Every structure is written in C-alpha cells, then in structure tokens.
Amino acid sequence: MIEISVSWAVAVFLSVPITLVLGVWIFYNCRDEEPTDNTEFLTRCQYCGHMFFNYRRSEIIVCPLCKSYLSADLTDKQGDHQKDATQIHKQ
C-alpha cells in the first residue's frame, strides 16, 4: 500500500480542484470571441420605461417589471431610444 502523509493528502486534495478552476477560467477568458451583450435585443417598456432583453421574436411582448403587454412593432430599441433623447436635447 502507498503511504502518504496527511499534509501531502491535503495538498493534493486542495490543489486538484484549484488547478481545474484555474484551467477553466483561463480557457474561457483567453478565447477570441465577441462579447455577448448584443443591444439588438434590448427593448424598453412604453409604460414604465424598464429596459430588458427580449430574445423572443413574437408579436406580443410582456414587460417583466410591470407585466404590460407590448407590441413588437412599437417597442423602442436601444438605438431608437438614444436618437429620441438626442433630438430632445438639441431642441
């Protein structure tokens, strides 16, 4: 039978998970991938002004904050909202 001291057993027991977590962290942070925070799906509620991501492409959207039903054609996207705000400031 292999004899191992308690200090070596604890060191191996702790170093294996730490090495795995470090390896996964390096793998996910060193990939050349575009960020996933795409503002194409960002939607603003007309009633409460809450900004939320809408990944579903349906005709009726429900605001997660006030539970209002919104039409997909009438909801403001992030780009449209910024244009409206700049037009207000210019006037």
Q: What's the chain look like in SS3?
A: CCCCCHHHHHHHHHHHHHHHHHHHHHHHHCCCCCCCCCHHHEEECCCCCCEEECCCCCCEEECCCCCCEEECCCCEEHHHHHHHHHHHHHC
Does a structural domain hold residue 1?
Answer: no
Q: Which domain holds residue 70?
A: 39-90
pLDDT at position 88, please? 37
Encode burial over 61-71: b for 16+ CB neighbours within 10 A, e otherwise: bebeeeeeebe
pLDDT digits (tens, 9 = 90+) for 7-64: 999 999 999 999 999 999 999 888 876 666 677 788 889 899 999 888 887 888 899 9
Does a structural domain hold residue 51?
Answer: yes
Does the pLDDT of residue 75 top 60, yes or no? no
Does a structural domain hold residue 45?
Answer: yes
Mean pLDDT of 68-89: 54
Angle at 15 between CA 11 and CA 17, to 5 degrees: 135
Domain count, the chain: 1
Q: Return the residue matching tokens 């603003």.
A: 44
Does a structural domain hold residue 4?
Answer: no
The predicted model scores a pTM of 0.42
Does a structural domain hold residue 33?
Answer: no
Count the Cβ atoms, other than its own, within 10 Å of residue 82. Answer: 12
pLDDT at position 12, please? 92
Does a structural domain hold residue 8?
Answer: no
Does the pLDDT of residue 82 top 90, yes or no? no
Does a structural domain hold residue 44?
Answer: yes
